[in-house]
Amino acid sequence: MNAEIFKCKIGGFECTIFKDLMFKYQAKDYFINANEKELNTALRNYNVNPDNIPSPYIAMLLQKGTQKILIDSGIGFSEEPIVFKGKTFVLKGKLQQLLAKENISTTDITDVVITHFHPDHIGGVYTPEGELVFKNAKFHLHQEEWDFWNTSKSDSQPALFKFFVENNVTPLKNGNVNFITQDYQEICEGITSINAFGHTAGQIALIIGDTNEKLLYISDAFLHPLHIDRLDWQTNYDLDHKKSKKTRIKLLELANKESMKINAFHFDFPGLGFAERNGEKWKWVYDK
């Protein structure tokens, strides 16, 4: 699917998924402990090259009545090059442009949920000039994630990641923020936060919808369908592999128990599908 905007309905919400950017990753970072032969066979089954695993960055808009809730904010957009450690780069996220295409102004957004503080999820909160993009929104984020990135706990994290947090999240300290502290905490009507720690210190997943129909937004608990098929395959991008695996099992069992469709941020756009259970094993099936 090449489109940049995907629409569906989820339990009372009009849902729009935007493709903010396409990126590519490498198998050596995505599957650091996989047996090479097994990995190559598995990747061939998904038709991907180990040096070029395509991966979208997305943002999801949920609308119901006057509520306009944005889940994650994209990588951001910059007209001018940004200078970092003597190097320059330009951010080319399309979220704002795609919102405008849907006649949605950034000032219409009532809530922004930040699932965790990696650049592809927080980059769009402020402009490179330091102006808040979603001026009227309440921001929902987990206290653990905030504490990790805003204290010395994150000192060993990549400098670029810290730069993104300092510019896109830390300035919210004087803003309109709801700090999530509980597992299964309702953020707003129809959206519940689930602790999904491991990828980062305080990542959250979300249950979206009503009693008739629910979707599980897993953010980066799984970066590729092979992380569902092979729960032991670890990624370089996870902070804590043990916690990540616990979270993976927790989310799969939850989706299975409640017959929920899943949305995965980095899977083939728009990242919707199901996890099928076979005993202790799981298999990802795209909803196409």
Shorter beta-carbon distance to Zn ion: residue 213 or 241: 241
Contact predicate 256/277, CB 8 Å: yes
Amino acid of residue 272: L
Indicate the burial class of 279 (C-beta count within 10 angstroms; 0-12, 13-18, 19 or more).
exposed
Residues 20, 72, 111, 120: which binds Zn ion (CB under 5 A)? 120
Place of tokens 């959206």: 191
List binders of Zn ion among 47-66 (CB under 5 A). Answer: none
| CA 270/CA 20 separation, integer angstroms | 11
Residues 20, 220, 238, 268: which binds Zn ion (CB under 5 A)? 220
Q: Which one of 40-48, 112-120, 130-138, 149-157 is the stretch in contact with Zn ion (CB under 5 A)?
A: 112-120
Q: Which residues pair with 134 in a beta bridge?
A: none
List binders of Zn ion among 224-243 (CB under 5 A). Answer: none
Q: Which one of 128-136, 141-149, 187-195, 216-224 is the stretch in contact with Zn ion (CB under 5 A)?
A: 216-224
| CA 111/CA 134 separation, integer angstroms | 8
Least distance in angstroms from the C-beta of 193 to Zn ion: 17
**Residue among 127, 130, 120 at smallest CA distance from 79:** 127
Check residue 144 for interaction with Zn ion (CB under 5 A).
Answer: no
Amino acid of residue 186: E
Q: Which one of 19-27, 32-40, 97-105, 119-127 is the stretch in contact with Zn ion (CB under 5 A)?
A: 119-127
CA 144 to chain centre: 17
Q: Which one of 102-110, 127-135, 218-226, 256-264 is the stretch in contact with Zn ion (CB under 5 A)?
A: 218-226
Give the residues lining the site for Zn ion (CB under 5 A): 120, 220
